[in-house]
Amino acid sequence: MMRDRGMSGGVCYHCDMSSTLSPGHDPPERGLTHRDLDYTPDDGNRWELIDGSLFVTPFPTYAHQLASTELTFLLLAHVRANQLGKVFAAGLKVVLDEPTGVGPDVVYISAGRMDGMREDGFHGAPDLLVEILSSKPELDRVVKFHKYAAAGVPHYWIVDPERRSIREYRLEGDGYRLVAEHVGDTDFEPVLFPGLTVPLAELWIR
Protein backbone atom coordinates (compact mmCIF):
# COMPACT_ATOMS: atom_id res chain seq x y z
CA MET A 1 0.00 0.00 0.00
CA MET A 2 1.30 3.47 -0.85
CA ARG A 3 2.12 5.82 2.01
CA ASP A 4 -0.24 8.80 1.93
CA ARG A 5 1.79 11.98 2.34
CA GLY A 6 2.55 15.21 0.49
CA MET A 7 5.27 16.19 -2.00
CA SER A 8 8.56 17.24 -0.42
CA GLY A 9 12.32 16.95 -0.81
CA GLY A 10 12.25 15.06 -4.09
CA VAL A 11 10.13 12.23 -2.70
CA CYS A 12 6.89 11.28 -4.41
CA TYR A 13 4.03 11.39 -1.92
CA HIS A 14 0.35 11.30 -2.80
CA CYS A 15 1.20 9.60 -6.11
CA ASP A 16 1.59 6.14 -7.60
CA MET A 17 5.25 5.81 -8.57
CA SER A 18 4.46 2.92 -10.90
CA SER A 19 2.71 5.40 -13.20
CA THR A 20 5.15 8.29 -12.85
CA LEU A 21 8.47 6.44 -13.03
CA SER A 22 9.76 4.36 -15.90
CA PRO A 23 11.89 1.34 -14.88
CA GLY A 24 15.46 1.62 -16.12
CA HIS A 25 15.19 5.34 -16.90
CA ASP A 26 15.50 8.61 -15.03
CA PRO A 27 12.34 10.58 -14.28
CA PRO A 28 12.06 13.63 -16.50
CA GLU A 29 12.26 16.45 -13.94
CA ARG A 30 14.17 15.23 -10.91
CA GLY A 31 16.72 12.71 -9.83
CA LEU A 32 15.81 9.87 -7.51
CA THR A 33 17.54 8.86 -4.29
CA HIS A 34 17.34 5.67 -2.27
CA ARG A 35 14.75 7.36 -0.05
CA ASP A 36 12.23 7.26 -2.90
CA LEU A 37 12.18 3.47 -2.61
CA ASP A 38 10.20 3.87 0.61
CA TYR A 39 7.31 5.17 -1.49
CA THR A 40 7.09 2.56 -4.21
CA PRO A 41 3.95 0.42 -4.59
CA ASP A 42 3.58 -2.58 -2.30
CA ASP A 43 2.90 -4.81 -5.32
CA GLY A 44 5.16 -7.80 -4.64
CA ASN A 45 7.82 -6.63 -7.08
CA ARG A 46 11.37 -5.71 -6.14
CA TRP A 47 12.00 -2.01 -6.77
CA GLU A 48 15.66 -1.00 -6.89
CA LEU A 49 17.53 2.17 -7.77
CA ILE A 50 20.99 2.09 -9.35
CA ASP A 51 22.74 5.39 -10.12
CA GLY A 52 19.35 7.09 -10.21
CA SER A 53 17.73 4.63 -12.62
CA LEU A 54 14.80 2.53 -11.50
CA PHE A 55 14.64 -1.25 -11.98
CA VAL A 56 11.62 -3.42 -11.20
CA THR A 57 11.88 -7.21 -10.94
CA PRO A 58 8.75 -9.42 -10.79
CA PHE A 59 8.05 -12.32 -8.46
CA PRO A 60 10.98 -14.79 -8.41
CA THR A 61 10.69 -18.34 -9.69
CA TYR A 62 10.49 -21.49 -7.57
CA ALA A 63 14.08 -22.39 -8.52
CA HIS A 64 15.23 -18.93 -7.45
CA GLN A 65 13.50 -19.15 -4.09
CA LEU A 66 14.78 -22.64 -3.37
CA ALA A 67 18.39 -21.62 -4.02
CA SER A 68 17.95 -18.44 -2.00
CA THR A 69 16.42 -20.20 0.99
CA GLU A 70 18.94 -23.04 1.14
CA LEU A 71 21.97 -20.78 0.67
CA THR A 72 20.76 -18.32 3.29
CA PHE A 73 20.22 -21.17 5.77
CA LEU A 74 23.73 -22.57 5.23
CA LEU A 75 25.43 -19.17 5.50
CA LEU A 76 23.41 -18.18 8.54
CA ALA A 77 24.30 -21.36 10.40
CA HIS A 78 28.03 -20.91 9.71
CA VAL A 79 28.10 -17.19 10.52
CA ARG A 80 26.17 -17.68 13.76
CA ALA A 81 28.29 -20.62 14.90
CA ASN A 82 31.46 -18.61 14.38
CA GLN A 83 30.06 -15.25 15.54
CA LEU A 84 31.18 -13.58 12.32
CA GLY A 85 28.40 -11.05 11.84
CA LYS A 86 24.92 -11.10 10.29
CA VAL A 87 23.26 -12.74 7.27
CA PHE A 88 20.12 -11.28 5.74
CA ALA A 89 17.73 -12.73 3.18
CA ALA A 90 16.10 -10.63 0.45
CA GLY A 91 14.30 -7.58 1.76
CA LEU A 92 17.15 -5.62 3.36
CA LYS A 93 17.78 -2.33 1.56
CA VAL A 94 21.47 -1.80 0.87
CA VAL A 95 22.34 1.85 0.24
CA LEU A 96 25.57 2.05 -1.75
CA ASP A 97 25.26 5.81 -2.34
CA GLU A 98 22.51 8.45 -2.49
CA PRO A 99 21.14 7.42 -5.92
CA THR A 100 21.56 3.68 -5.29
CA GLY A 101 19.46 1.42 -3.11
CA VAL A 102 19.31 -2.31 -3.90
CA GLY A 103 17.76 -5.42 -2.40
CA PRO A 104 20.17 -8.32 -2.96
CA ASP A 105 19.01 -11.91 -2.51
CA VAL A 106 21.50 -12.59 0.29
CA VAL A 107 23.61 -10.12 2.27
CA TYR A 108 26.48 -10.88 4.65
CA ILE A 109 27.82 -8.13 6.90
CA SER A 110 30.76 -8.85 9.18
CA ALA A 111 30.72 -7.67 12.78
CA GLY A 112 33.26 -4.98 11.93
CA ARG A 113 30.94 -3.38 9.37
CA MET A 114 27.70 -3.50 11.33
CA ASP A 115 28.02 0.16 12.26
CA GLY A 116 26.62 0.84 8.80
CA MET A 117 23.21 -0.53 9.80
CA ARG A 118 20.42 2.04 10.02
CA GLU A 119 16.69 1.94 10.58
CA ASP A 120 16.00 1.94 6.83
CA GLY A 121 18.70 -0.58 5.88
CA PHE A 122 22.45 -0.95 5.57
CA HIS A 123 24.49 2.04 4.38
CA GLY A 124 27.85 1.22 2.80
CA ALA A 125 29.46 -1.82 1.24
CA PRO A 126 28.62 -5.19 2.85
CA ASP A 127 31.26 -7.93 2.85
CA LEU A 128 29.24 -10.12 0.47
CA LEU A 129 26.29 -9.66 -1.86
CA VAL A 130 24.63 -12.62 -3.56
CA GLU A 131 22.28 -12.41 -6.54
CA ILE A 132 20.33 -15.39 -7.85
CA LEU A 133 19.42 -15.20 -11.51
CA SER A 134 15.78 -15.22 -12.45
CA SER A 135 13.73 -13.11 -14.90
CA LYS A 136 16.35 -10.38 -15.52
CA PRO A 137 19.77 -12.05 -15.53
CA GLU A 138 21.60 -9.16 -17.22
CA LEU A 139 20.69 -6.89 -14.32
CA ASP A 140 22.79 -9.11 -12.04
CA ARG A 141 25.49 -10.05 -14.56
CA VAL A 142 26.14 -6.57 -15.91
CA VAL A 143 24.50 -3.64 -14.12
CA LYS A 144 24.95 -4.84 -10.55
CA PHE A 145 28.26 -6.53 -11.34
CA HIS A 146 29.82 -3.17 -12.23
CA LYS A 147 27.99 -1.16 -9.58
CA TYR A 148 28.91 -3.47 -6.72
CA ALA A 149 32.55 -3.36 -7.76
CA ALA A 150 32.52 0.44 -8.04
CA ALA A 151 30.92 0.65 -4.57
CA GLY A 152 33.71 -1.46 -3.06
CA VAL A 153 31.77 -4.62 -2.19
CA PRO A 154 34.61 -7.13 -1.54
CA HIS A 155 32.78 -10.32 -2.56
CA TYR A 156 30.02 -11.00 -5.08
CA TRP A 157 28.42 -14.34 -5.93
CA ILE A 158 26.10 -14.99 -8.85
CA VAL A 159 23.95 -18.11 -8.55
CA ASP A 160 22.33 -19.54 -11.69
CA PRO A 161 19.69 -22.17 -10.82
CA GLU A 162 19.05 -22.94 -14.49
CA ARG A 163 22.69 -23.83 -15.17
CA ARG A 164 23.13 -25.10 -11.60
CA SER A 165 26.20 -22.99 -11.11
CA ILE A 166 27.66 -20.41 -8.77
CA ARG A 167 30.31 -17.86 -9.70
CA GLU A 168 32.49 -16.53 -6.91
CA TYR A 169 34.02 -13.09 -7.48
CA ARG A 170 36.49 -11.14 -5.35
CA LEU A 171 37.24 -7.43 -5.69
CA GLU A 172 40.77 -6.69 -6.86
CA GLY A 173 41.58 -3.09 -7.61
CA ASP A 174 38.54 -1.49 -9.20
CA GLY A 175 37.00 -4.66 -10.62
CA TYR A 176 35.98 -8.21 -9.83
CA ARG A 177 38.15 -11.23 -10.53
CA LEU A 178 36.54 -14.63 -10.96
CA VAL A 179 37.86 -16.82 -8.15
CA ALA A 180 36.03 -19.98 -9.22
CA GLU A 181 32.92 -21.30 -10.89
CA HIS A 182 31.25 -24.37 -9.43
CA VAL A 183 28.75 -26.36 -11.47
CA GLY A 184 26.32 -29.18 -10.75
CA ASP A 185 26.34 -31.10 -7.48
CA THR A 186 29.90 -30.30 -6.43
CA ASP A 187 30.88 -28.83 -3.09
CA PHE A 188 31.53 -25.08 -2.87
CA GLU A 189 34.12 -23.90 -0.34
CA PRO A 190 34.05 -20.08 -0.34
CA VAL A 191 37.31 -18.22 0.22
CA LEU A 192 35.37 -15.76 2.40
CA PHE A 193 34.31 -18.48 4.85
CA PRO A 194 37.12 -20.90 5.72
CA GLY A 195 35.68 -24.15 7.03
CA LEU A 196 32.34 -23.77 5.26
CA THR A 197 31.27 -26.32 2.65
CA VAL A 198 28.17 -25.62 0.58
CA PRO A 199 26.80 -28.79 -1.06
CA LEU A 200 25.39 -27.29 -4.25
CA ALA A 201 22.99 -30.21 -4.74
CA GLU A 202 20.90 -28.74 -1.92
CA LEU A 203 20.35 -25.52 -3.88
CA TRP A 204 18.80 -27.04 -7.00
CA ILE A 205 15.41 -28.53 -7.85
CA ARG A 206 15.68 -32.33 -7.87
Taking 60 as the threshold, does the pLDDT of residue 7 lie above it?
no
Average pLDDT estimate for 114-124: 97
| Distance (Å, whole) CA 203 – CA 75 | 12
142 with 53: CB under 8 angstroms? no
Taking 60 as the threshold, does the pLDDT of residue 180 lie above it?
yes
- How many domains does the chain contain in total? 2
Q: Quick check: is 5 in a domain?
A: no
Taking 50 as the threshold, does the pLDDT of residue 6 lie above it?
no
Please give the residue range of the domain that contains residue 129: 62-203
Is 104 found in the same domain as 159?
yes
Quick: pLDDT tens for 61-78: 999 999 999 999 999 999
Q: Quick check: is 139 in a domain?
A: yes
Output the pLDDT for position 23. Answer: 55
Q: Quick check: is 126 in a domain?
A: yes
| DSSP-assigned letter for residue 60 | P
Taking 90 as the threshold, does the pLDDT of residue 9 lie above it?
no
Is 179 found in the same domain as 116?
yes
**pTM of the shown model:** 0.86
Average pLDDT estimate for 46-72: 95
Taking 70 as the threshold, does the pLDDT of residue 93 lie above it?
yes
Residues 6+ apart with CB under 8 A from 94: 101, 102, 103, 104, 107, 121, 122, 126, 129
Average pLDDT estimate for 115-144: 97
